[in-house]
Amino acid sequence: MKRVFSLALTALLLAGCTAAPAAGSEISTTVTAETAVAQASTGNGEPLRLLQHGDEKQYYRQESLGKDDSMILYHVVDLQTGEDTIPCDVEGCTHDSESCPAVTTQIPSYQPFVLNDSTLLVLSGMNHSSQSTFITLMDRNCQNRRVLKKLEGVDLFLDPNHMYTDGDFLYCCGYEKNASLGATLYTIYRIDLSDGTTTNLTQHFYNFQFMRGTVGRDLVLYQENLTYPDTFGDPTATASSHPTGTKSHVLLNVDTGEVRDFCSYSSDDYVLDRLYFYVIAGQYYWIDSTAGTLSTVDPTTGESRLLTDQLPITEPDALSAEYQYQMEANLNGWLVFYDLPLLVNAETGEVRQRADLPENLWNGYGHQPQIFLQLKDRLLVDCRYEPYTRTDLSDDGTPFTTQSDQMYLGLISIDDFLNGVPNYTEVCKGPA
């Protein structure tokens, strides 16, 4: 089964890095109980959930307008009827200027996230000079836009697929340049959805330390302390080129600011760049590809439990297989991978062959349909691609043409997806 990393996956993947627990080991973290500066808050007790670009009712997409992509047009896709509409009530509107209520010039902009039954959330306005981000709220018909918060000098576009909410607050990771330190600093923010009040849940910390998912009301933060050997110009460098040091994870409670050491991984025990880490549906998993093992870790006890040792084995000196082992979702209790032709039962560890759907061809490469939206018993996936000629502008403004493939999204039941039955209901175009 041949698969490739498509553009679609970039905006989709829920989590991914590297790790594996070392029992009883100590970890050195930048974020600690002493450095957390979160003010205690009265949380609503709801588990944190990942924001998506749709729900059972609707999916939200956008398209760029103008030769210089200076405007964005919103679309609302009804997931019951499959109707793709432009949310504009102006009679005779051509939907190609700011006079259209469905058009925005606040760019760049990430397609709308569904916050709740009545409200959408949009990230927009970051530019290379200011790196400020607007967090905008609007109604489900993309109207009544209002700025909740402008974060001056902060870029939230670093990882917009890791945006979480409990209904009362937004939790996100931003970064900013610090000229005096000559470094990029990162912060976890808690933003009140009622008035935009913003709290730093951590003090600033350095590169390669991001949110990787949530477990209950804890954020899973990934941190590393690695040394990469200098192998430039050495064609014989193989195993010795692997990084040494540690990779670790901590749990940050969003209500109290408490930080708990969770898991630590050492190059004395593992080939660190052949370990892969995921948080799916509130559960923490890690894969040791050199041993073919998939394990899970209890966030309360820290106990690691082996689910299976039947995954394909990657040689330590082979090219990175991260996308092969990328875990996409838990579907009816089965863990689905991006590029492994098998399924793993999330409870028992049973492994079975995955039934392939017909491959999609994107720019000459084949891949299995990817998940854009996970609903109760359905999935929104890329179901087909259609060749077309696109006109772009060069740096000097000269137009040129490019051959590409237009993606189309369709709904499919989870059962059909798992059993390789291509029973799609096409609903709209996908991201360009």
pLDDT surpasses 70 at 5:
no
**At residue 25, does pLDDT exceed 60?**
no
Rounded to a whole number of angstroms, the CA Rg of the chain reads 22
Residue 206's closest CA among 226, 229, 183, 225?
A: 183
Q: For tokens 């999916």, name the residue.
A: 59
- Of 29-33, 87-91, 123-127, 422-426, which gets the smallest average pLDDT? 29-33
Residue 326 burial by Cβ neighbours in a 10 Å radius (0-12, 13-18, 19+): buried
Whether 378 and 77 have beta carbons less than 8 Å apart is answered as no
Count CA within 13 A, CB hemisphere, residue 3. Answer: 23
Residues of 180-189 as b/e, b for ≥16 C-beta within 10 angstroms? eeeeebbbbb
Give percent above pLDDT 70 in the chain: 82
* Number of residues in the chain: 432
For 251-270, the pLDDT digits (tens) are: 999 998 888 999 999 999 99
| Cα-based distances in Å from 372 to 27, 379, 382, 430 | 35, 7, 8, 9
* pLDDT score of 82 more than 70: yes
Whether 33 has a pLDDT exceeding 70, the answer reads no
Helix %, strand %, coil % of the chain (to 5): 5, 45, 50
Among 61-70, 122-131, 339-348, 422-431, the least confident range? 122-131
